[in-house]
Structure 1
Amino acid sequence: MLSAIFTLLNLGSFNNLNGFLKQTLLGHTVDLGHEIYGGNQLYPKVSNTVDLGYVTYRGKLDETYPNTVVYFGIPYAEPPVGNLRFRATVPLNTERVTEEVNGEVVDATEPPAFCIQGSLSGNVGGAGSEDCLNVNIYTPLGAKEGDNLPVLFNIHGGGWVEGNPTNWPFDHWIEQSPNVIIVSVYYRFGSFGFLATPEFTDPAYGDFNAGLKDQIQALKWVQSYIRKFGGDPNKVTIAGHSAGAISAELHMITNRTEGLFSRAIAQSVVRLPFPTPEQQQPLFDIYASLAGCNESSVADKMTCLRDADVSALAQAQDTAPIAAIIQGKPYNLFRPVLDGVLITEHPTTKFQSGEFAHVPLIVGSASDETLTPGNLDISVGLKSFFPLLTDTDIEAFLSLYPPEDFHSECHRFRVATGEPNVLCSGQAMGIPSSRYSDTWTYRYNTPNPRFTLVHHAAEMWMMFNGTDTGPNGTAEFTPQTDAQKAFASELIAYWLSFVRTGNPNTYKLPKSPVWGNYNESDPVRMVLMQDLKNSVDVSGSYMEGQPAPQTARCAFAISMAEVCQN
């Protein structure tokens, strides 16, 4: 019967569907609006369309996840092409959309084109499209306006260079907990989202931090339309991993996102430097030159860049960081900049002074994370990550990591570089947050099966069906064991309990331990890990206190926020 229902739905034949149900129910049937009564039972009317007022979309149904509808590629802004390239996000022209669809139901059953990809791994980027400002929306089957379900707004990672939201699918999250709406956002990155030159203070030339402004516009679109999908715009949790977690942190310190979210989850916040536009100027010049735009004035350069073929820009954005490194330029990545308007101060500084959104927060990282290349020279690693550190600063860092405190030089390097650039984010955000709102921190401690150590993004493999992301928007999904699936369900339960109530414990799995609150006087955290005996019925997670030596080292790293520019 289920297969026949899905067939009818995919054909859009809702009248046939109701007739089919009425023929198969025992006894008499009565249509009650949102439900059909028959055979002494209530059956929900099934719909995979949503009318937003200006357009109607048809979402995807899948027998693998029969309680979930996915609406792929819903535009939230005008395409950032032509004269809008390198400019701030323009809100969606709904009148244009209405006119273009001409009353037709728009098919939203296939993933859209992802944004133009760069490369973190040395592979050539360039796949994707500039016309990519969309969201994917995952809803429980039958969700409707008035249900007021809480909303998870997810921002993918990828180092501000790459990423494809379909590589982190949420179907199984909804299937496990069909009482939330999940929105996954596409946004510009690389040169398309984070090109910067001091002249952008005049928007006639371009705009700083366009990729972040994409995310803000998507949040505004959610406020306007998520009710139509069954969501509650007053209960939005922003969440992200890596660059997505940095995005969440940045949204917490800006005054442009007030009222757009009420909770936050930040997984592995990379504490990278936020340079000034002046510090990014050399990268801009190298990029423009590589794209064939060698005009003397910035106005002429920008005209040339807007006229350039997207393939030339994609190649230039892959090559420019390498050229900048060869030329000895310390700021050699496309990333958010301290523009003085959207980002007025470094995030750590804002958090320490209490100038951030006071909302419930989950923040943490993986046990063995470092984003510094493993050359075992701590001084070189710190200097490459934080260009403004002086020799005196580096000596002060090194004094906190004496060799005798570590079981190998590799271990020492990993901790001494990993704490300043990612591991201390739990303390940097957690202590200030705990003064105003309920806060939970964690240490993720189960490796991706491909590795021995618990590296960056290990939990993403576990939470998203065994995904390993590849170049140019690709991914490989490795089958998971029953024990891994059970652990993933435990993680998802904590996360979605927080989305639903602001507390990860309310709807945790019965086997899972209670996750204690983090605060300065009692810095406890959850160690999230799979049961060592691979049991599906027993949790391997447990609470621990943050070790005092790490607390002291992180306090020093936090005190260096202005020098480290994070």
Structure 2
Amino acid sequence: MLSAIFALLNLGASFNNLNDALKQTPIGPMVDSGYVAYPSSQLYQNAVDLGYVTYFGDNQPEMYPNTVAHLGIPYAERPVGDLRFRATVPLNTTRVTEEAGGSPVDATSYPDFCIQGQFAGQPGGAGSEDCLNVNVYSPYGAKEGDNLPVLFYIHGGAWIFGNPRGFPFEHWVNQSPNVIIVSVYYRLGSLGFLAAPEFTDPAYGDFNAGLRDQIQALKWVKSYISKFGGDPTNVTISGHSAGGASVELHMIVDESKGLFSRVIAQSVGRSALPTPKQQQPLFESYASLAGCENGSVADQMKCLRGANISALAFAQDNALHRDFGYVPIVDGLLITGHPTTKFQCGEFTHVPLIVGSASNETLSLSPKLDISTGLKAFFPSLTDTDIQQFLGLYPIDDFDSKIQQFQVATGEPDVICAVSLSLTLLPWATHPHYSNTWTYRYNTPDPTLNTKYVTHAAENWMMFNGTTTGPNGTSTFDPQTDAQKAFASELIAYWLSFVRTGDPNTYKLDKSPVWEKYSESNLVRMVLTQQNSATESGNEMEILPLAEFVRCAFAISKAEACQH
């Protein structure tokens, strides 16, 4: 009964022919195949033929009638065996075709997430190495030729944890069924960012494998997103925290040029990017804990590629690193300089930009709220003189409390000053080829934290159905009030208007204020604040405080000392 359908799919038959076949062929339970049985019309709408294989997606008409999700679509070869610790290998579509055997492939369930690292002191290790997939969310009925704009989302998680399942997009597309959204899985922790000086010879391994995964996923989008109804020439890359830092890096990486046309950078983690030599102690500790301490680096890498993943997960969580963790490095190959310095020199991809952070966030930790300790932990190469200069900008008399002083003094260099690093402090800011920029300050606390402070990732809770990230790829979702849902819709409208047109105002909600551009003559940002009413907007424009501008100017002047 299904053989006629599969034959049509395998031969690349037109969707009109497939539809005719479906109308004539009753669909019964697919007990043996494991595929979801849909009525013929829904099966037709949810099938996407990529040329080398056909995928069936998932539609939840009772919740998100406007959205189809195709989950777990591979974009690269499995990074296992000899491909462990190596640069991403493009997908072998011939292999995928052969493995499918002429049958359509079920893409209705979330795939395995990538191997996780420690989270809040809890050990990692969950996940799979076979994780290089994307999730594609599209409007119901979208088809090739629709040329819908594309949002490409990169999750955060300090480069060591995170699972796209915790950041679902069905409700985004359901609200605005005129975009395609792609979220990417990429290698994390040691599997994505292990480094040794010897990696300058790719025979040993490759630097920045996790970032290379993201680039390969963008190349897959360029090749195949049109099959889902997307426009491969109109891609906005977006990310939060380490995802925001990823977005920033793509703006300075030559290999990413031409793969995106707009940027949304949320809470860019301005962590230090070490050199290969600086990562050698971490490599040695990691290899030793994995039982691979003996022999040359070639011997160690052979051992690490043959090691059980549980041994690597243990080594990943317990390897001692005095300064740096598993992060991207300035390798001279993919990343040729520190991002802030690159931006100062105008050496980046000039595209329309939304960039911002939360009101009170910091990524530094210090149990005694010691600013020196917090800054040194985040930027290990700062000298004592550098630290004293930073401290001089944040006298306690300027703040309501020691908590606020610590947050601002560490949060601005860590995260908040990313807003300024690419803007008016730099001589090229008024360059005629520089594109439009909008900045924001997210000002609504995460209601689950019972605090007045608006901390890191607060907007994720609002924009992703009340999500809270947990250890080992887990997430919880809290119910949202009508006012919170209304505020989330307002944020999503701004974001997707930018994705569609390069301007957050074109398709904003009627109640939302106009979001003014940031420029050298107009130092303004949108303050994103929830109202208790579902019918009113709490958002408003504000002028960037001069004191913050001056402090960020100093932070940016320390780009090389901070190694960012």
> What TM-score, normalized by structure 2, do the two folds share?
0.91
Query: How do 1:499-514 and structure 2 match up within 5 A?
Result: 499-514=499-514
> Are the aligned partners of 1:86 and 1:195 in contact in 2 as well (CA < 8 Å)?
yes
Residue 341 (structure 1) aligned with residue 316 (structure 2): no
Residue 189 (structure 1) aligned with residue 182 (structure 2): no
> Are the aligned partners of 1:498 and 1:505 in contact in 2 as well (CA < 8 Å)?
yes
Secondary structure of 2:57's match? strand
Deviates more, 1:546-555 or 1:59-68: 59-68
Query: Which residue in 2 is equivalent to 1:404?
Result: 397
Secondary structure of 1:363's match? strand
> Are the aligned partners of 1:430 and 1:440 in contact in 2 as well (CA < 8 Å)?
no
Deviates more, 1:384-393 or 1:188-197: 384-393
Give, in whole Å, the separation in 2 of the partners of 1:430 and 1:508.
24
Deviation at 1:17, TM superposition (A): 7.5
Give, in whole Å, the separation in 1 of the partners of 2:380 and 2:69.
44
> Are the aligned partners of 2:115 and 2:127 in contact in 1 as well (CA < 8 Å)?
yes
Percentage of matched positions with identical amino acids: 68
Deviations 1:100-142 (A, max 9, x none): 1111000000000000011131112111100000000000000
Distance 1:454 1:17, change over 3 A: farther
> Are the aligned partners of 1:401 and 1:416 in contact in 2 as well (CA < 8 Å)?
yes
> Are the aligned partners of 1:363 and 1:429 in contact in 2 as well (CA < 8 Å)?
no
Give, in whole Å, the separation in 2 of the partners of 1:519 and 1:298.
50
Query: Which residue in 2 is equivalent to 1:361?
Result: 353
Query: How do 1:445-464 and structure 2 match up within 5 A?
Result: 445-451=443-449, 452=451, 453-464=453-464
Give, in whole Å, the separation in 1 of the partners of 2:198 and 2:66.
51
> Are the aligned partners of 1:443 and 1:525 in contact in 2 as well (CA < 8 Å)?
yes
Distance 1:80 1:339, change over 3 A: same
Query: How do 1:15-54 and structure 2 match up within 5 A?
Result: 47-54=45-52
Query: Which residue in 2 is equivalent to 1:25?
Result: none
Query: Which residue in 2 is equivalent to 1:380?
Result: 373
Deviation at 1:16, TM superposition (A): 9.3
| Paired residue type of 1:376 | L
Deviation at 1:391, TM superposition (A): 1.4
Deviations 1:518-541 (A, max 9, x none): 12232100001101xx11111000
Query: Which residue in 2 is equivalent to 1:441?
Result: 439
Query: Which residue in 2 is equivalent to 1:552?
Result: 550
Give, in whole Å, the separation in 2 of the partners of 1:84 and 1:408.
51
Structure 2 unaligned residues grouped into runs of 5+: 1-17, 26-40
Deviation at 1:46, TM superposition (A): 5.7
Query: Which residue in 2 is equivalent to 1:519?
Result: 519
Query: How do 1:117-516 and structure 2 match up within 5 A?
Result: 117-320=116-319, 323-324=320-321, 329-331=322-324, 333-374=325-366, 375-431=368-424, 435=430, 436-451=434-449, 452=451, 453-516=453-516
Distance 1:56 1:411, change over 3 A: same
Secondary structure of 1:253's match? coil
Deviation at 1:44, TM superposition (A): 11
Query: Which residue in 2 is equivalent to 1:33?
Result: none
Deviation at 1:45, TM superposition (A): 10
Give, in whole Å, the separation in 2 of the partners of 1:161 and 1:135.
18
Deviations 1:127-178 (A, max 9, x none): 1100000000000000000000000000000000011101000000000000
> Are the aligned partners of 2:69 and 2:135 in contact in 1 as well (CA < 8 Å)?
yes
Deviates more, 1:127-136 or 1:427-436: 427-436
Deviates more, 1:61-70 or 1:224-233: 61-70
> What TM-score, normalized by structure 1, do the two folds share?
0.91
Query: How do 1:99-118 and structure 2 match up within 5 A?
Result: 99-118=98-117
Give, in whole Å, the separation in 2 of the partners of 1:552 and 1:112.
46
Give, in whole Å, the separation in 1 of the partners of 2:77 and 2:59.
27
**Aligned residue pairs: how many?**
525
> Are the aligned partners of 1:44 and 1:142 in contact in 2 as well (CA < 8 Å)?
no
Deviates more, 1:241-250 or 1:118-127: 118-127
Deviation at 1:15, TM superposition (A): 6.1
Deviation at 1:188, TM superposition (A): 0.1
Give, in whole Å, the separation in 2 of the partners of 1:475 and 1:280.
31
Query: How do 1:50-89 and structure 2 match up within 5 A?
Result: 50-63=48-61, 64-89=63-88
Distance 1:266 1:518, change over 3 A: same
Give, in whole Å, the separation in 2 of the partners of 1:487 and 1:88.
41
> Are the aligned partners of 1:234 and 1:262 in contact in 2 as well (CA < 8 Å)?
yes
Deviation at 1:394, TM superposition (A): 1.0
Give, in whole Å, the separation in 2 of the partners of 1:406 and 1:104.
64
Give, in whole Å, the separation in 1 of the partners of 2:403 and 2:85.
41
Secondary structure of 1:379's match? helix
Deviations 1:44-89 (A, max 9, x none): 9960000000000000111211111000000000000000000000
> Are the aligned partners of 2:371 and 2:409 in contact in 1 as well (CA < 8 Å)?
yes
Deviation at 1:379, TM superposition (A): 1.2
Give, in whole Å, the separation in 2 of the partners of 1:407 and 1:202.
53
> Are the aligned partners of 2:119 and 2:470 in contact in 1 as well (CA < 8 Å)?
no
Give, in whole Å, the separation in 1 of the partners of 2:304 and 2:44.
48
Deviations 1:458-479 (A, max 9, x none): 0000000000010011010000
